[in-house]
Amino acid sequence: MGQIHQKGSLSAKHEAKRGRGASPMASLPERGPNEKEVMADEIRAHIKRRGLSQAQAAKQAAELPARMLLLSGGKLYSFTLRQLTKIRDRLAE
């Protein structure tokens, strides 16, 4: 029959399988900024340099204000590198 454990505890066998105590991120190399982050930084710097509001930047970049808000907040999951490049180019015109 199975062993009775305290709530939330695992048997030694299961703990070994899960690698308790080891962070899954520990084995990943340190990453620098990716291309999307660099492009977004360029866009934010351009907006700041020109003194544009989010609404003005959105209009000039032909984007929805909500998407510009995501970009300014660093939430880049919904942007491709191509989209960010287009936004940068439109703002530079």
CATH number for 65: 1.10.260
Domain span including residue 67 = 35-92
Does pTM surpass 0.75?
no
pLDDT of 93: 86
pLDDT-derived band at 86 (thresholds 50, 70, 90) equals very high
> Mean pLDDT, to the nearest integer, of 78-93?
93
Residue 86 in domain = yes
Domain count, the chain: 1
* C-alpha span between 4 and 33 (Å, rounded): 47
Residue 66 in domain = yes
* C-alpha span between 81 and 42 (Å, rounded): 13
Residue 26 in domain = no
Residue-wise pLDDT tens digits, 16-72: 555 555 566 566 566 667 899 999 999 999 999 999 999 999 999 999 999 999 999
